[in-house]
Structures are given as C-alpha cells and as structure tokens.
C-alpha cells in the first residue's frame, strides 16, 4: 500500500478559496506543501490534525492571500492533516487514530497514519526547519495560549510571541510539537473555540511574525513577560461511567459550567461533581510517567467529587465526544522559568 501523503511544490489551485470540507477532493488526502521564501530555512506549520479544528487552516489561507503577489519572507512548509475528518466536521473518523498522537515518539501501534507522520518528519528533518507551529482549537473556555515540550529559552521566546500564557507538557506522547522539538523550536498554539474570527486573526498575525523573524533569541525571557505552567495530569472519565453536566441522572454529574474553571487556580476542596451510586474514585488521572494519580488530586466525600489540593485546570470541556475520544482535560501547576 502506498503512502497516504501527497506532496506539492507549489500552491495547489483553488486552495486559497476552498472550505475545509472541500480539501479532501481538492488535495486528494493529507498534504505537505513546500513554498519558497526569501530565507531558505522553512517555517513548518501543521493544521487540521484534528479535522474540526479549522482556525489554523483559515489563518494560513488569509496569510497566503496577503502574500499572493509578493515573496514570502521565509520558506514555508505546510502540512494539512486529517482532510477526511474535516469533510465531515469531526476531530477524527471512527477507526482512525488521532492525527496528533501518532508522530515519532508515539506509543500507538503501527498504522498508515503513523508511517505518514514519520515520512513528514523525515522530509522536514532533511530540510532543517527554522521553527515549527502546530495550530489547534479547543472546545472549552480557555484563553489563547502556547504549549512547549522543552524548557528552552528559544521555545519560550517563540511561545511568548503568541501569548504570555505558556504550558509545558510531555504527555500525551506522539504529538507533533514534541517530535519537531528534536529539529527546531516547536510550539502548539491553542486559539480558542472554532469559528471565532479573533482566533483566526491571532493565528495569522503570529504565523506572519514567525515568517519575518531572522532568528529566535536564546537569552532568558523576562519573568514578567510570561506565565509558565506545567501539565501534571491528564484527566479521563472511565468508559464504565455515564456522565453529564448540571442536573442530570448520571453516574457523574459535573457542575454545569465546568469549562469556566479553565486557567483559574482552584483551592483545595473545590466541588467538581455530584456522584450517584459510584463506589471509589470516579475519574482516572495519569501523570507524566503514566502513573495513576487521581487520588493525589481528587477525593470523594458525601457523594461529591472535590479537589484535594490547589490546581489549575486547562481544556476542561463539555463536549461528550471529545471527552470519550480524548480526555476531560488537564491539571497544571505553576513552573519556574529557567535562569
């Protein structure tokens, strides 16, 4: 079986006018597009690794329209990911792996998608990229923020150009930014909910700023310019339990505005859910080494699920499909900036 990857050395006709749902027909599948620019080392940008997260693609369209009649300041390599899922407005199709869990370093079993990401990585490794940006949306209420997978001044500088809020994580494995961190400063940028023009404009301006950079500073970022957080746990709802939000007859009934807790420092004892007939701990939480740590962060008393210590959630979502396919969200703690 041949590769899933389509490679273009020029901008495909119609790409700047296409809607995300039209990309599978237009491109034929996941595509890597190389465009020349004044500076030879390319900026690598990945979009639509989740087919329903369209902000990155729309931002790139706007950016490329801006340069339609002039030279790009720097070469640009674009990976347009899960166009099949984008056609249906879904994160991924049933039976597909998550396109942002199968990059080199992944713990997922072998698959055509995993081999494709190895191919993209190998091609870009030969090109020695200047920097890498993976553009995402999220479903809960979150600020725009950047994620890094290495505590490195260059990574933090690049992240701080997007947002003063920066999150450091090394789990889950197999994400694009963690793979590309081996090659160059690499970020994931989270641009809020889909369909918000402010997120598209922010992503476009940031990508343009990256194209215009001649180099990425290596000196420390000033402490007052960035708030750095560390993801300490991924929180999941076991498939055995039903769940809902607000007032529902389910095993785990979370508070109705759960996603309003994101990026707020919650004190110990904060109530997150009412439990009905659940024995023991109703959530799973894994730390960076994959250890089960739910008891470190949560406790059950009087049929209520509460926090045991001060934590800050991120990406808590009310979207049941996302919770079942991926996770409820993450827990973070403040992290000291390197000297």
67 has a pLDDT exceeding 90: yes
Judge contact between 20 and 27, C-beta under 8 A: no
Task: Give Cα separations from 158 to 6, 76, 188 (angstroms).
Answer: 29, 17, 11
Q: Cα dihedral sign for 7, 113, 61, 85?
A: positive
Tell me how crowded residue 67 is: count the other CB atoms within 10 A of its CB: 15
- Give the pLDDT mean for 161-186: 97
Q: Cα dihedral sign for 203, 206, 186, 29?
A: positive
Percent of the chain with pLDDT over 70: 100
CATH class of 6-225: alpha beta
User: What does the pLDDT look like over 112-164, one tens digit per residue?
Assistant: 999 999 999 999 999 999 999 999 999 999 999 999 999 999 999 999 999 99
The percent helix, strand, coil of the chain (3-state, each to 5) is 25, 25, 45
What pLDDT, on the 0 to 100 scale, is given for residue 339?
A: 82
What pLDDT, on the 0 to 100 scale, is given for residue 111?
A: 97
Judge contact between 53 and 194, C-beta under 8 A: yes
Residue ranges per structural domain of the chain: 6-225, 231-334
Partners of residue 145 on adjacent β-strands: 190
Return the axis-axis angle of helices 197-212 and 153-162, rounded to nearest 10°: 140
User: What does the pLDDT look like over 270-319, one tens digit per residue?
Assistant: 999 999 999 899 999 999 999 999 999 999 999 999 999 999 999 999 99
2 has a pLDDT exceeding 90: no
In the chain, DSSP assigns E strands to 6-8, 31-35, 37-47, 72-80, 131-136, 145-148, 165-168, 186-190, 227-236, 243-245, 252-254, 271-275, 284-286, 298-301, 304-307, 312-314, 329-334
Lowest mean pLDDT among 30-39, 198-207, 220-229: 220-229
Average pLDDT value for the chain:
97
Judge contact between 64 and 137, C-beta under 8 A: no
- Give the pLDDT mean for 46-75: 98
* Residue 1 binned pLDDT confidence (cut-offs 50, 70, 90): low
User: What does the pLDDT look like over 13-29, one tens digit per residue?
Assistant: 999 999 999 999 999 99
């Amino acid at each position: 079986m041949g590769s899933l990857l389509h490679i273009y050395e020029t901008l495909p006709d119609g790409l700047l006018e296409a809607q995300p749902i039209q990309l599978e027909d237009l491109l034929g599948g996941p595509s890597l597009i190389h465009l020349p620019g004044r500076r030879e080392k390319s900026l690598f940008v990945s979009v639509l690794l989740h087919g329903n997260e369209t902000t990155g693609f729309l931002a790139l369209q706007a950016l490329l329209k801006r340069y339609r009649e002039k030279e790009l300041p720097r070469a640009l390599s674009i990976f347009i990911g899960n166009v099949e899922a984008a056609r249906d407005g879904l994160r991924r199709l049933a039976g597909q792996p998550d396109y942002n869990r199968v990059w080199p370093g992944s713990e997922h079993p072998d698959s055509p998608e995993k081999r494709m990401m190895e191919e993209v990585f190998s091609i870009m490794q030969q090109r020695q990229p200047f920097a890498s940006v993976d553009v995402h949306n999220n479903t809960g209420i979150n600020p725009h923020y950047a994620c890094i997978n290495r505590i490195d001044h260059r990574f933090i500088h690049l992240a701080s150009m997007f947002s003063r809020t920066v999150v450091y994580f090394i789990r889950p494995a197999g994400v694009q930014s963690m793979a590309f961190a081996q090659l160059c400063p690499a970020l994931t940028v989270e641009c809020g909910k889909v369909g918000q023009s402010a997120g598209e404009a922010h992503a476009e301006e940031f990508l343009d700023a990256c194209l215009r950079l001649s180099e990425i500073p290596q000196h420390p970022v000033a402490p007052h310019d960035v708030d750095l957080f560390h993801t300490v746990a991924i929180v999941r709802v076991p498939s055995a339990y039903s769940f809902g939000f607000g007032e529902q007859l389910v095993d785990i009934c979370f508070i109705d505005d759960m996603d309003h807790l994101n990026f707020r420092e919650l004190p110990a004892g904060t109530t997150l859910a009412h439990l009905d007939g659940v024995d023991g701990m109703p959530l799973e939480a894994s730390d960076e080494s994959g250890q089960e740590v739910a008891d470190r962060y949560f406790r059950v008393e009087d049929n209520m699920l509460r926090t045991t210590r001060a934590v800050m959630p991120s990406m808590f979502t009310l979207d049941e499909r996302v919770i079942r396919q991926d996770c409820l969200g993450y827990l973070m703690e403040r992290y000291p900036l390197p000297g």
